[in-house]
Amino acid sequence: MTQIPVFVISLKRSQDRREYIAAQFEREKVSFEFFDAVDGSDKNNPLLKRYNYAKRLWLTSGKMPTNGEIGCYASHYSLWQKCVDMAQPIVVVEDDATICPHAAQTLALVAEKIQQYGFLRMESVIRGENTLMEEGVHYRIGRMSDNFGGTRAYAIAPWAAQKLLNGSESWSMPVDNYIGAAYFHGMESYHLHPEFAEDTNAFDTTIQFYEKVKAPLYRKPSRELYTLYRQLKRWWHNRNFKKAHARNS
């Protein structure tokens, strides 16, 4: 069976990181292709004009995003578009990942399951309750109720990528927060075990980073109201999913 395409997001200038992850893929005998990350400081990139700074400041964060955060979102967005254009599932990996042993076998399982589930998180779960969807001798797949906390490795099918694109007319939050907001775009997140990649903190991130700056207090009321709104939407969405899953089990 042909291997599912694997794309590694990496800035062109990050040669040490490219060499590091390329050696891991070579060790696991897995082919891949580098995808040049969008530099968030490149204000001429038309993708960066999608950012909704007013919503960011008054509703989702209270402080300006870093160039790294914007570039990270634009990089993943570009690969969702590529997935749709290719009309086939892909695997997305960030260049600070540590590839787990038996990666080729994991990719074979992903190729078998991705069209059914649409999105498979392929790194350790950081947050999010799992509803077991299926379990085999050497694997299990669970639905995540709160898929925030990283985009180090995942697989995505074209129909799921299109859902993310449909909800991306404007951006106002980190890309992992957006992916986890199934109540907004309708794309559910599922977690695959065994994982394909993990975070060993081998490198400081160059695509996305956060500055320790406090948001002004006068923006706090609107942000808290919007946070409550999102929490209620997520709770209602998860409730409906569990009820439907229970009926169909």
pLDDT digits (tens, 9 = 90+) for 184-219: 999 999 999 999 998 766 555 544 444 567 888 889
Task: Measure the CA–CA gap between 230 and 8, rounded to whole angstroms.
Answer: 31
User: What's the gap between Cα 139 and its chain centre?
Assistant: 21
Percentage of the chain lying above the pLDDT 90 cut: 75
Q: What is the model's pLDDT at position 211?
A: 52
- Is the predicted pLDDT of residue 1 greater than 60, yes or no? no
Q: Residue 249: pLDDT band by 50, 70, 90 thresholds? A: confident
pLDDT digits (tens, 9 = 90+) for 146-162: 877 789 999 999 999 99
Please check whether residue 156 is in contact with residue 198, taking contact to mean a CB–CB distance below 8 angstroms: no
Q: What is the model's pLDDT at position 235?
A: 93
Please tell me the least confidently modeled range out of 43-47, 65-69, 164-168, 196-200. 196-200
Q: What is the model's pLDDT at position 209?
A: 47
Percentage of the chain lying above the pLDDT 70 cut: 93
Domains of the chain: 6-248 (3.90.550.10)
Average pLDDT over residues 44-65: 91
What is the value of pTM for the model shown?
Answer: 0.92
Sign of the C-alpha dihedral, residues 116, 118, 79, 212?
A: negative
Average pLDDT over residues 113-140: 89
Q: What is the model's pLDDT at position 248?
A: 86
pLDDT digits (tens, 9 = 90+) for 74-96: 999 999 999 999 999 999 999 99
